[in-house]
């Protein structure tokens, strides 16, 4: 039976690769590399670099495939994501049937960690549920952008004895700071932090984490939010894309 390896490759630094991930790369007959258009060539280049550095098998090969653009106009968020996943699932099914023999092993290289705000596992499960291609799969964890953010800012993720929330920009207003003293925000195209008015809130922001283009800014939110907005806009204009994450915090260790 075909085998799929879903491998977390870290947030942009090839040295984020774990020994387990490197070993998994070298188990694969075919390495699948997604491309996301000319503006995001760096994302594919990191994957190519990882394969060049760590794959020692002479008989493995890479297959690149284009990821469709998610439609957002005229459809709900859930509907948009569902349609997008269905399109990608059809692509995956074609790759598995055309590029892998019945006993072949294929690997998908996933940015960050496959279990945190990534849909590769969900999409692979869709393909499996369709029953057109028989396969099993394993998941190999990776370093997340959340970990990279905290490392770059040299901060612990949590306050002592207190919980952490991981959320999106769309949902931030539901929790911080009233319900959560530490909120990590991913997938925020609207920069929801600028609507947080609490004067005691602090922010730790980072973009392109782990890459040579990494940018980090931290401080009291009221004092640095305009700087973050300006820096983010300039970086996106220069690069043509941006991948960022931030942590909002209010309070301190041992506060009641």
Task: Tell me whether residue 230 is exposed, middle or buried, using C-beta atoms within 10 angstroms of its C-beta: 0 to 12, 13 to 18, 19 or more.
Answer: exposed
**Which pLDDT band holds residue 37 (cuts at 50, 70, 90)?**
low
For 2-143, which CATH class? alpha beta
Tell me the CATH architecture of domain 146-249: 2-Layer Sandwich (3.30)
* Same fold? 2-143, 146-249: no
Which of these, 44, 49, 51, 245, lies nearest to 148 by C-alpha position?
245
Q: What is the pLDDT of residue 255?
A: 78
Contact 249, 182 (CB under 8 A): yes
pTM: 0.90
Q: What is the pLDDT of residue 155?
A: 97
Rounded Cα gap, residues 251 and 97, in angstroms: 53
Contact 19, 140 (CB under 8 A): no
Please provide residue 244's backbone torsions phi and psi, each rounded to the nearest 5 degrees. -135, 170
**3-state DSSP helix/strand/coil % of the chain, to nearest 5:** 40, 25, 40
Strands (E) located in 116-180: 135-140, 165-168
Q: What is the pLDDT of residue 248?
A: 98
- Classify 201 as helix, strand or coil: coil
Structure tokens at 212: 């040579």
**Which pLDDT band holds residue 39 (cuts at 50, 70, 90)?**
low
Q: What is the pLDDT of residue 6?
A: 97
**Which pLDDT band holds residue 256 (cuts at 50, 70, 90)?**
low
**Omega within 30 of 0 (cis) for the link into 177:** yes
> Where are the chain's structural domains?
2-143, 146-249
Q: What is the pLDDT of residue 214?
A: 96
**Which pLDDT band holds residue 20 (cuts at 50, 70, 90)?**
very high
The 10s digit of each residue's pLDDT in 98-146 is: 999 999 999 999 999 999 999 999 999 999 999 999 999 999 999 999 9
The 10s digit of each residue's pLDDT in 231-245 is: 999 999 999 889 999
Q: DSSP character for 124?
A: H
Q: At what angle do helices 77-99 and 120-130 cross, to 10 degrees?
A: 60
């Amino acid at each position: 039976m075909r085998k799929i390896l879903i491998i977390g490759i870290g947030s942009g630094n090839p040295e984020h690769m774990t020994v387990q991930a490197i070993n998994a790369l070298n188990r694969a007959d075919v390495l699948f590399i997604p491309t996301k258009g000319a503006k995001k060539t760096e994302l594919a280049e990191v994957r190519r670099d990882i394969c060049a550095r760590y794959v020692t098998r002479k008989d493995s090969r890479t297959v690149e495939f284009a990821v469709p653009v998610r439609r957002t106009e005229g459809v709900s968020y859930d509907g948009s994501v569902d349609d997008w996943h269905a399109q990608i699932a059809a692509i995956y099914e074609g790759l598995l049937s055309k590029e892998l023999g019945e006993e072949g092993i294929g690997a998908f290289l996933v940015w960050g960690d496959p279990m945190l705000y990534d849909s590769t596992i969900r999409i692979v499960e869709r393909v499996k549920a369709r029953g057109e291609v028989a396969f099993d799969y394993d998941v190999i964890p990776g370093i997340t952008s959340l970990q990279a953010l905290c490392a770059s800012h040299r901060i612990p993720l949590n306050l002592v004895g207190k919980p952490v929330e991981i959320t999106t920009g769309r949902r931030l207003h539901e929790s911080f700071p009233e319900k959560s003293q530490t909120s990590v925000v991913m997938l925020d195209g609207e920069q929801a932090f600028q609507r947080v008015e609490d004067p005691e809130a602090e922010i730790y922001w980072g973009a392109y984490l782990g890459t040579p283009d990494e940018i980090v800014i931290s401080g009291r939110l009221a004092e640095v939010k305009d700087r973050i907005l300006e820096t983010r806009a300039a970086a996106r204009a220069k690069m043509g894309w941006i991948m960022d994450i931030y942590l909002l915090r209010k309070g301190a260790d041992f506060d009641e």
